Chains A and B, each alone.
Chain A
């Protein structure tokens, strides 16, 4: 999976590393902005009240 990604990326090693960091940053941004808020509404709520 990740090996295939590495092969697909163009350029020398340092270019690939920079590309990977950019991809990782984009993935984290998407997760924080859209995915995690959505998951948060689905997973078990955190209960703080006595009942």
Chain B
């Protein structure tokens, strides 16, 4: 903004050489308004890119730390027992829904969202969770837990504040959505996207859009805002649980290397 200031001045200097130029109210007002416009644009740039990038880094670092902690715990537990038999782990362990608002109890990692897209999932979907430098993804308190029959529903920003679901519209059929908890790893497979109005709470039902039905599937629902840089609508991504493995079995083979790189 200040870069433009030198321009008018030489001309003005030429016009006023020798004399003082009277200060015009309109002129000052114009400069104030131009400055205000520049400041607002600068703020948007800060909010949508600068601060977004900083928070994304903080949130993924925090998620890596928690993930590594759980991995370490699992390794210690495995040292005592024999490694679990591969393949058949039975029904997924479901943690009791006893977390307080703001407690991080899971990690979300979606390879399609790119490198360092791992985020902590905390209980609650208030701004204290979604706009946090350590959390970023929130769990709708009245929905099910990871691996539970029904709907594990989470929310995150699409843009700004670390944008935990920035690339949500990039999801393709069958994309993995990994959820890590202290108990283990839940692999969901993306099924479809939906675009709804912000009031459409039925997407959070155990059977989305059918609050009266008994659930039989274990699904995950991601909600974020749509279109990008707007909050007019919500974008919803559904996935279905494919497999589960306890934490003592380590991370799923496809992402084991990536998860290990988080530990450093």
Contacts and interface: CB of A to CB of B under 8 A. Distances in A.
A-B interaction: yes
Interface of A: 1-6, 13, 16-17, 20-21, 23-24, 27-28, 31-32, 36-37, 39-40, 45-51
A26 to B, nearest CB: 10
Contacts of B39: 31
B127 to A, nearest CB: 5
Question: How large, as a class, is the contact surface on chain B?
Answer: 35 or more
A50 B6 contact: no
Contact of A3 (B9, B224, B225): B9
A1 B5 CA distance: 10
B199 interface: yes
A32 B130 contact: no
- Chain A interface mostly helix, strand, loop or mixed? helix
Given A3-B9, A36-B51, A48 B32 contact: no
The 5 closest A-B pairs by CB, nearest first: A24-B2, A1-B31, A48-B225, A6-B9, A49-B155
Contact of B5 (A2, A37, A39, A47): A2
B140 interface: yes
